[in-house]
A and B are shown apart, each in its own frame.
Chain A
Amino acid sequence: MLKILLDRKEPSREEVRKHQNFNEILAALNYQQKVLNPWRYWYYPLLTVCLLLLV
């Protein structure tokens, strides 16, 4: 359902800048990359297997 808002007050440029900054975006990107990395779950088990094989 569509909602129509009349004469809505918009936050100023400064308010927007205060609320969000590039470092937060970069942190969110790093977190997502970490979470989405398919090696995340396999890294330690694989490392253990490799070490065991070496031994």
Chain B
Amino acid sequence: MPLQFSFQQQSFLPEEERTQIERAQQDPRFFAPLYERYHDAIFRYVYRRVEEEEQAYDITSSVFVKALQAIHKYEYRGLPFSAWLFRIAKSELYQSFRDQKAQRTVSIENVVLKQVIEDWTEDYSEQDKAKLLRALKGLKDQQLQLVEMRFFEKRSFKEIGEICGLTENNAKVKTFRAVLKLKEYFHQKE
């Protein structure tokens, strides 16, 4: 059973969270409840994208330090607070890839891989699995991110859009194109 990462989506910032953010903007010590709420999700988002567990902890820690440094600039613009944190996480992750401190990794569950293959072919074989893994390596990074979030982490298009800075429709279209590309690579002869 693939792990679910999504939060309960809300179209507005809950009153309690708004108060917690306002208090954290005054004093970073009041960020604690927000940290408790989102730390696990941010850690897992990072963990699935890097090879070493220690690197995941380091990156998660710098995500929250960056969030605390920038909390005074945070303004509610219709996006959940988690989206803001995920964007920081994404930027920290890519900074570590650029600095070659971390290895870009995709963590997939065999069950999910099997489901994807069974949707595309009549039956599942080890050869198809190898083909799909090869096809994934052929995707551009943005396409891979979309496929990763949609199929391996089961995120909604709304959430994908919030993390990637896209509208929900745009996220849908781009994910559809990424899947087409993946299918094309999958069916390509070696």
Binding site for B on A (CB under 8 A): 1-8, 10-11, 13, 16-17, 19-20, 22, 24-26, 28-29, 32
**B35 to A6, Cβ gap below 8 A?**
no
**A2 to B28, Cβ gap below 8 A?**
no
> Across the interface, which residues of A come within 8 angstroms of B39, CB to CB?
16-17, 20
Binding site for A on B (CB under 8 A): 3, 28-29, 31-32, 35-36, 39-40, 43-44, 47-48, 51, 53, 57, 60-61, 64-65, 68-69, 103-110, 113, 133, 136-137, 144
Determine how close the nearest CB of chain A comes to the CB of B109; give it in whole angstroms: 6
**A5 to B103, Cβ gap below 8 A?**
no
> Across the interface, which residues of B come within 8 angstroms of A1, CB to CB?
103-104
Contact A6-B61, Cβ < 8 Å, known A13-B40, A22-B35, A29-B68: no
**B65 to A29, Cβ gap below 8 A?**
yes
